[in-house]
Structure 1
Amino acid sequence: MRNTAEHALERGLFATRWLLAPMYVGLVAGLGVVLVKFCLELWHLISEFSLESEADEITVAILSLIDIALLGNLVVIVIFAGYENFVSKIEAAKGNEDRPSWMGHVDFSGLKMKLIGSLVAISVILLLKDFVAIDGKGEDADYTSVAWRIGLHFTFVLSGVLFAIMDYWGAKRQVLLADAHAHHPELEDAEMDRVTP
């Protein structure tokens, strides 16, 4: 009786992963909003363009398009990797020649690294836009907000470095545990922790 109740509880708990599925569908809707914003920015660039347009204005507009495209990439990475890691494998993509090479290979650790990498890239684009805009404004530029963005950018970079170090240590520890288990198969996991440095 206890095993049956335990099995039913565990099946119920395992099924709760499907509560995440509507969140990923919501992100698809968010991706649609990103597409609309991209189209509006592109239309603004095309409609405002003339031979007299300043190069700085065009640069800022194109950087805005790149920024939005990177955001779209980030949303797709979260949808695919998150769904495959936490809900279910995407069988429809198996064998498809357009399936991204990273799909199915990005674990939670890899997802964190891709997220922080995308955030750093988006932050760089925003800083570039600020610097191009400052060049045209001169003394009227808001240096305080630029300083805050620089600080935020370095926070993202530092977070990425710390994530990478933690992942490296975690992977190294797993290798050491596997090696210790190969040399001492009789030891339990708790004893392995004492054997490995």
Structure 2
Amino acid sequence: MEKFIETMMYRSRWLLAPIYLGLSLALFALCIMFFREMFHLLWDIGTIKETDMVLLILGLIDLAMVGGLLVMVMMSGYENFVSQLDIAEDEEKLGWLGKMDSSSLKAKIAASIVAISSIHLLKIFMGATNYSNDHLMWYVIIHMTFVVSAFAMGYLDKLTKH
């Protein structure tokens, strides 16, 4: 009975595969949104104010960073928890693929969240006239919470490795 339970638990990791596949669909949706925003930028290029253009570009950078985060989670998560990716020898392989354990994945996710939050905060500051001081204060507090959390996670990881 014990062997059966252990075998079923081990094989149940494959239930994660559709979740990682779903993340690839989310990446596709993000790609559509990116090019929709790019179209708006190019369509309005002659009439758009400089500040609005910078805000649009920051939004594009934000989408690109979220896309990179999705790829990182999708591929590393699959390799760490489901199965190794069988990539042909003649096909290009990402340098970090197969080298990122769950600890380094967490660190990269935390750093990506801080970077995404930084871009979002910059967008908010550039349009600061639309926000009250209380809203701005809370955005900064939330961002600093991400920064402190990422730092604490990195520090604790460093402590546990020594």
Q: TM-score, normalised by structure 1?
A: 0.78
Query: Which residue of structure 2 aligns with residue 38 of structure 1?
Result: 34
Instruction: Name the aligned partner's letter for residue 166 of structure 1.
Output: L
Shift of 1:97: 5.2
Matched residue, 2:59: 64
2:114 to 117, 120, 130: 120
CA shift, 1:126, in A, is: 0.5
Runs of 5+ consecutive residues of structure 2 not aligned to the other structure: none
Point out 4+ residue stretches in structure 1 off by more than 4 angstroms.
Answer: none
Structure with greater contact order relative to length (CA < 8 Å, sep ≥ 6): 2
Q: Classify 1:9/1:115 alpha carbon distance in 2 versus 1 (closer, same or farther; 3 Å).
A: same
Q: Which amino acid aligns with 1:68?
A: L
Aligned twin of 1:20: 16
Query: Which AA in structure 2 matches 1:26?
Result: G
Name the Cα RMSD after superposition.
1.5
Aligned runs of 1:76-95 on 2, under 5 Å? 76-92=71-87, 95=89
CA–CA distance in structure 2, aligned partners of residues 98 and 142 of structure 1: 49
* Structure 2 residue aligned with 1:170: 160
Q: What letter is aligned with 2:15?
A: L
**Cα separation, partners in 2 of 1:12 and 1:141, compared to 1, 3 Å:** closer
> Which amino acid in 1 is paired with 2:5?
L
The percent identity for this pair of structures is: 36
Counterpart of 2:132 (choices 142, 147, 155) is 142
Q: Distance in 1 between matches of 2:77 and 2:15?
A: 13
Structure 2 vs 1, CA of residues 96 and 161 (structure 1 numbering), >3 Å: closer, same or farther? farther
In the TM superposition, residue 96 of structure 1 has moved relative to its aligned partner by 5.0
TM-score of the pair, normalised by structure 2: 0.93
- Return the offset for 1:79: 0.3
Higher Rg: 1
Q: Which residue identity lines up with residue 109 of structure 2 in the other structure?
A: L
| Distance in structure 2 (CA, Å) of the matches to 1:151 and 1:162 | 16
